[in-house]
């Protein structure tokens, strides 16, 4: 297929490489020229704007930081909608507010362009392996057309509802991960302060009800004092902010999400925004004058 890709960052680069590997004809753009050079060297055609990408593509994918960048790249000047033909498809795979996804979808519909929101879970390693979990919102027939591309980038793709549903699902995922990491942080701080070896405690509980993929991934990072991202605190703060905005629009109270979002903001103000989200533990450590590590 003729595919466009806008946004060649940590995630967009490996995802676009997997589309090239699968034999799709790719046109790419990013505001950072060196990123475009890198993917052009892997076989993509180098474009000067999101509009130029869309002009050459049946399906244009965006993978950008947040809603404002998606709106700029799709509906802004020299954006995707300046170049996209009626009947073509825009697939936004960034994690953004579901409300913004619906607004972008409406702008697309006004030009006869179809839209899916399809954020992902799995991070850079799964983007490289092509094993992301993709959660999509939109029409079934549009999803079916994009499915061959999803299968080059992910090991699962699920349509969870109309436009916006993909991002609601992703936000639900992000709430579960963030609140779980906060709980793991407090639990290991307690164990360490009580004089126990946090690794022994981790091994003792991981097979029981407290066991989780989050625990298995993040407890060893806390105990090993390795906060290299992974998934950055500032991106997780953005996701929880988007969850709270969506919740507010439905008059839904999410007290624990709100608390962890405030912790993430405090960590950003302490210069830790680019650490892995497992560094939520350092907030609890600072308050309790304890460091989660083996004796």
Q: What residues are labeled active site?
A: 170
266 Cβ neighbours under 8 A, 6+ residues apart: 283
In total, the chain counts a number of residues equal to: 295
Rounded to 10°, the helix 12-21/140-153 angle is 90
Provide the 10 A C-beta neighbour count for residue 33: 11
- Which CB atom, from 75 or from 185, has the smaller least distance to ligand NAD? 75
**Interacting residue ranges for ligand NAD, rule: CB under 6 A:** 6-12, 29-32, 35, 50, 63-66, 69, 72-73, 94-95, 120-121, 123-124, 231, 235
- Which CB atom, from 36 or from 187, has the smaller least distance to ligand NAD? 36
Radius of gyration from C-alpha coordinates of the chain: 20
- Which CB atom, from 137 or from 198, has the smaller least distance to ligand NAD? 137
- Which CB atom, from 10 or from 40, has the smaller least distance to ligand NAD? 10
Task: For residue 204, give both structure tokens.
Answer: 């003792």
Min dist. Cβ of residue 291 to ligand NAD (A): 26
- Which CB atom, from 64 or from 184, has the smaller least distance to ligand NAD? 64
Task: For residue 285, give both structure tokens.
Answer: 């450590």
Task: For residue 289, give both structure tokens.
Answer: 């004058």
Question: What is the Cα–Cα distance from 79 to 264, expressed in whole angstroms?
Answer: 32
Report strand pairing: 120-121 vs 114-117: unpaired
Min dist. Cβ of residue 103 to ligand NAD (A): 16
Query: In the bound complex, which residue of the shown chain has the CB atom lying closest to ligand NAD?
Result: 9
CB-facing half-sphere around the CA of 179: CA atoms within 13 A: 14
- Largest Cα–Cα separation, the chain: 65
Report strand pairing: 120-121 vs 132-137: antiparallel
Min dist. Cβ of residue 139 to ligand NAD (A): 23
Min dist. Cβ of residue 192 to ligand NAD (A): 28
Task: For residue 78, give both structure tokens.
Answer: 């020299």
């Amino acid at each position: 297929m003729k595919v466009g890709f806008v946004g060649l960052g940590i995630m967009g680069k490996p995802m676009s490489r997997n589309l090239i590997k699968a034999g799709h004809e790719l046109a790419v753009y990013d505001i950072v020229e060196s990123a475009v050079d890198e993917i052009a060297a892997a076989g993509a055609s180098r474009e000067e704007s999101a509009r130029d990408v869309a002009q050459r593509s049946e399906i244009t994918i965006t993978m950008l930081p947040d809603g404002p960048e998606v709106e700029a790249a799709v509906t802004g000047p020299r954006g995707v909608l300046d170049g996209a033909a009626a009947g073509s498809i825009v697939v936004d795979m960034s994690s953004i507010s579901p409300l913004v996804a619906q607004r972008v979808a409406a702008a697309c519909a006004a030009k006869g362009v179809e839209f899916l929101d399809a954020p992902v879970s799995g991070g850079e390693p799964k983007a490289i392996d092509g094993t992301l979990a993709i959660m999509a919102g939109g029409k079934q027939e549009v999803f079916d057309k994009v499915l061959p591309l999803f299968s080059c980038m992910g090991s699962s793709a699920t349509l969870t509802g109309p436009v916006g549903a993909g991002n609601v699902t992703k936000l639900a995922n992000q709430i579960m991960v963030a609140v779980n990491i906060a709980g793991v942080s407090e639990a290991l701080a307690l164990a360490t302060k009580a004089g126990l070896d946090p690794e022994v405690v981790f091994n003792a509980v991981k097979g029981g009800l407290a066991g989780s993929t989050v625990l298995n991934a993040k407890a060893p990072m806390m105990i090993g004092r390795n906060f290299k991202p992974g998934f950055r605190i500032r991106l997780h703060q953005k996701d929880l902010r988007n969850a709270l905005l969506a919740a507010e629009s439905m008059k839904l109270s999410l007290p624990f999400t709100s608390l962890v979002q405030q912790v993430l903001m405090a960590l950003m103000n302490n210069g830790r925004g680019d650490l892995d989200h497992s560094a939520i533990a350092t907030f609890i450590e600072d308050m309790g004058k304890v460091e989660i590590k083996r004796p």
